[in-house]
Every structure is written in C-alpha cells, then in structure tokens.
Amino acid sequence: MFNYKYLLQVFCFGIILVVQKTMQNTTLCTFPPGFKFGTATSAYQIEGAWNVSGKTPSIWDFATHNNFESIIDRSNGDIACDSYNQIDVDIANLQLLNVSFYRFSISWTRLLPNAGNNFINPDGVRYYNEVIDKLIAHNIDPMVTIFHWDLPQSLQDLGGWTNKLTIEYYLQFARTCFSLFGDRVKTWITFNEISMYCVSAYDKKSLAPFASLSGIGTYLCAHYMLLAHGRAYRIYKKDFIHQKGIVGLSIDSPWYFPATNTANDKMAAMRAIITGFDWLAHPIFSQTGDYPLFMRKRIDYNSKQQGFKESRLPRFTTKEKAILQGSADFLGLNHYTSKLASMPMSEKASEMTSYEIDRSFDISFDPKWPKSARNHFKVVPQGLRKLLLYIRDTYNNPIVYITENGYAGDHSEYIDDHDRVSYTNLYLTEILKAIVIDKCNVTKYTSWSFMDNFEWHDGYTLRFGMFHVDFNDPKRKRTPKKSMYAYRNIIRFGTLPRCLSFEKSI
Ligand code: BGC
C-alpha cells in the first residue's frame, strides 16, 4: 500500500531544506545591519607638500631624496596625490564612494616638526582640523592612524625605533593627536603594520630607513613599537576616556597554507603564523601579555648558539606585560594574500642573524592562484576566512576591523579594473562567510586604497586605488575606476553584487 505518511515526511523535509537554503543564500548576500564600509590612505602616500609651512623631513623624505635608487622608479612623495591642496576634491570623491568612514594618517613632522620639543605646527593643526571637520560635515567618520611609517628623520638620526627613547617621543605625538583631534576622532589606530615596518626596514631593507640590522634591529623595533602602543592605549584610557573613543592597532598578515598535507608542512604553516601574526597579536590579545612561547624558545636558542649573551628577542617586564595585555579595543587586520609554507630540508641555522632564519620555513605559491601586479600578492580569498577563524579561536573572538585589503594593478592600469572588482567581491564573500557561518566578530571593512598613490619602494609602478590618479597631470586628476562603482553599490545595498540582479549591467 502507498505510504502517505512517508510521502508527507519527505515533502516536509524538502520544504525545510529549501527554506534553509534560501535563508542561507540571503544571509550570505547581505552584511549584518551596522556593518561599516570604508576606505584608506596614509599621509606620506597621498599628501605631498613635503616641505611647506613648517613641515620637516620624515624618513621617507630623506630616503627618497638621498637614497633614491631604493625606489624602483626613483620617484618620491614630494607631491604624491597633492592631497594637502585637494581636501575638497578628496572629500567629494569619498562622498561619491559613499563610505561610512575614512582611514587616513597624520604626518608626524607636519604636526610636530621638531620631535622632542613641544612646538605644535599651526599649519599641521589647521590641515588636519580641516580634513576632520569636512569629513564629519559629510557624515564620514574619521578613523585615524597615528603612525603610518613616516618617522621624523631627526628621530631616525637617534636610532629610530631601535632606540627606546623613541617611545617617549611617540607618546608625546599620540597625546597631541588625542588632545587636538579626539573631540571629533573616535577611532584611533596607534600603529600601522609593526611587522611589515620592522622586517622591511631592518631585515629586508625594502622600506625606510633601509637599515642593516637583520634579526636584531627587527625585534628591537617591534618591541619598542609594541610598548609605545600599550602605553598610548593606557594614556587614552586614563586621560582621554571622556572623549569616548576606541583605540586599536593594525596588524598585517597573509594566511599560510601548508604546502602539502604532511605533518611537517602543517608545522611550517603554524610557525609562519606564530612568528608573523602572533608575534604582534599575542602580547596584546592573549592572556599572557607576552610573545608566543615558540618565538621565545627559538630565538633564545638561536641567540645562544650565535654567542649572544642576551636573546635577540627582548623581554617584557611584568609591568610591561600588564600594560600590553588587553590594550586594544579592536584588532585591525591588514590582509592582502596567502602563501604556502613548507618545512626546510634541515632546520635553518646560521651564524648570520636573521628574522627569516629564526622563522625557519620555506615559502612557495600555488600556480593555480590568480596573480596581481605584485609578484607575491596572489588572489586567495579563502585564506582570509582561515585567518579570521584562526583569530576567533586563538584570541577569544575579538572585534576585528579589516583595516586594509586590496588589489595591486600595474602602472598601465586605467579605469577598467575588472580584476580589482572581482578581488573585492571574492574577499568580501569570504568575510561574509566568516561572519555568518563562523560567527567571527568582523564589523568593518576598509578597502586599500581610496586612490592610486605613492606605493613605497614600488614608487608609482603599482596602483591600488579605486580612483585613478594621473601622476603626469600637475593637478593629479582623479577618475573613478570600475571598482569605485562596484564597491559603491556594495556599500549602498550592504549586499554582494551576485545577489543584485542589476549589477551585471554596471
Ligand atoms: C601598507 C600600505 C601599502 C599597502 C600596499 C600595506 O602594507 O599599510 O601603506 O600601500 O600595504 O602595499
């Protein structure tokens, strides 16, 4: 006899599946209410006006003028995007993009030209007040990075971030920013990418100050920056709490997939994350206030083998650990790409001191990963979801702001930047999965970059912007690219393009 009951059960089950699938599809289309989209730049990369109205040289002014062979096209940021003179154009473009917030940085030597004394440059105050006031007048929240790599050259002459004194100078700078602008700026990023800065400056010699102190300067630099971060956070909480803002930092990290399924390569991938991301995140977001144990042991051991009396990885005092532990209201994550990690044939050890040797793993790339104009920036969106999961599980699901994510085009790119449109969609899809399925606490996304700009040692040979900038035009004309329109739609509807029927016609 025909079993109606069974048929009904199958039918109901089918309905449930369809409803579940539809619900999942809609939740995987739309960002949660309150999720915010923004875009970012940094002072040296866009402002220009390197020596006007009292501004003194930063390490980037110095390097590009005196060490210009370090920059691929021998260019500099003397004019860059001329943003110092084009506040209104920039604000109009931000408005066109429809962002909720704009992340930019403050040029230390524009605000405090004589780092070390208390002179505040009125023109610096005027300029940043104007930027902030105009942003707010247009309903765009300022998200301010205090230090985005442009250290005063006068402090570099004293040893820069390898000199403990720089912490005190930085705190004076941070305090000045809080007190001048904190009535309107409610989101502060103390440091941009400590590891990129310190490793590139001291190990790879690919960013200013292009110094040679590998495996020593690298750790000192990060150690003092971490301490400066922790103390700036505590200063804000003690003296500026009435401003009701939040303070965090931006940590850069790729994701590392094991090159093969072997236990060794899995271990190599873990090493890569621990000695990269966790190096900076662990002291702040773990319960210990200290470096990861793996780094402690490994660098202590290597240092001893190399005949050092003290470990090349400095130690925090108990008081310093207490300052660092929990010293961030959010974790800013700058993420562009992923890599493959494998275990080297034999442990890397050498008489030479080097961060890379301390990390001891090999890097490669999956040939199937799509390329970008920067060799080692492949398009691997699934890596971002993995990294977000790792953060959730390792650090008790902190609030994460993606403070940078973007695609490198080359100098020939104009406005048809399909690859950037696709990159942004793919990475945002993974972020949405991380939020909806994995319950990661990601609440903000920042595209890098608002417009093409001076790309550090790559000069103007790479373009990351959603607005094209004509660097041959004295007016530095900005033109929206396809990605500007595509991102604007995502922001407007809070929805991924594949879920918008009209998107294909854009
Ligand atoms: C930096 C930006 C830079 C971007 C692209 C990040 O590491 O914070 O200043 O332009 O990467 O290279």
pLDDT band at 118 (very low <50, low <70, confident <90, very high): confident
3-state secondary structure of 195: helix
Of all protein residues, the one whose alpha carbon is nearest to atom 5 of ligand 1 is 455
Q: What number of other Cβ atoms are within 10 A of residue 382's Cβ?
A: 15
pLDDT digits (tens, 9 = 90+) for 81-100: 999 999 999 999 999 999 99
Considering the chain, what is the average pLDDT of its residues? 95
What mean pLDDT do residues 213-217 have?
97
For residue 395, pLDDT beyond 70: yes
Ligand 1 pocket residue status of 417, Cβ below 6 Å: no
In 324-411, DSSP assigns E strands to 331-334, 338-342, 362-364, 400-404, 409-410
Q: What number of other Cβ atoms are within 10 A of residue 170's Cβ?
A: 26
What mean pLDDT do residues 461-485 have?
98
Q: In what order do the strands lie in the sheet with 338-342?
A: 255-258, 338-342, 362-364
Which CATH number goes with the domain that contains 390?
3.20.20.80
pLDDT digits (tens, 9 = 90+) for 314-356: 999 999 999 999 999 999 999 999 999 999 987 766 778 999 9
Tokens of 436: 């909806």
For residue 506, pLDDT beyond 50: no
pLDDT band at 14 (very low <50, low <70, confident <90, very high): low
Of 8-22, 206-220, 342-356, 378-392, the poorest mean pLDDT is in 8-22
Residue 13 CA, ligand 1 centroid: distance in Å: 50
Catalytic residues: 193, 404
Residue 9 forms part of a structural domain = no
By the 8 A CB rule, do 275 and 358 touch? Answer: yes
Question: Which residues constitute the domain of residue 476?
Answer: 28-493
Residue 303 CA, ligand 1 centroid: distance in Å: 31
pLDDT band at 446 (very low <50, low <70, confident <90, very high): very high
pLDDT band at 364 (very low <50, low <70, confident <90, very high): very high
For residue 22, pLDDT beyond 90: no
Residue 11 forms part of a structural domain = no
Residue 498 forms part of a structural domain = no
By the 8 A CB rule, do 194 and 167 touch? Answer: no
pLDDT at 21: 53
Of 12-16, 76-80, 462-466, the poorest mean pLDDT is in 12-16
Q: How far apart are CA 231 and CA 310, in angstroms?
A: 25
Number of independent structural domains in the chain: 1
Q: Closest ligand 1 atom to the C-alpha of 374?
A: 12
Residue 454 CA, ligand 1 centroid: distance in Å: 10
pLDDT at 501: 63
Ligand 1 pocket residue status of 407, Cβ below 6 Å: no
Ligand 1 pocket residue status of 105, Cβ below 6 Å: no
List, in sequence order, every residue forming a beta bridge with 248; answer none if it has no partner.
Answer: 189
Residue 1 forms part of a structural domain = no
pLDDT band at 115 (very low <50, low <70, confident <90, very high): confident
Residue 14 forms part of a structural domain = no
What mean pLDDT do residues 208-222 have?
97
Q: How far apart are CA 443 and CA 399, in angstroms?
A: 7
Residue 15 forms part of a structural domain = no
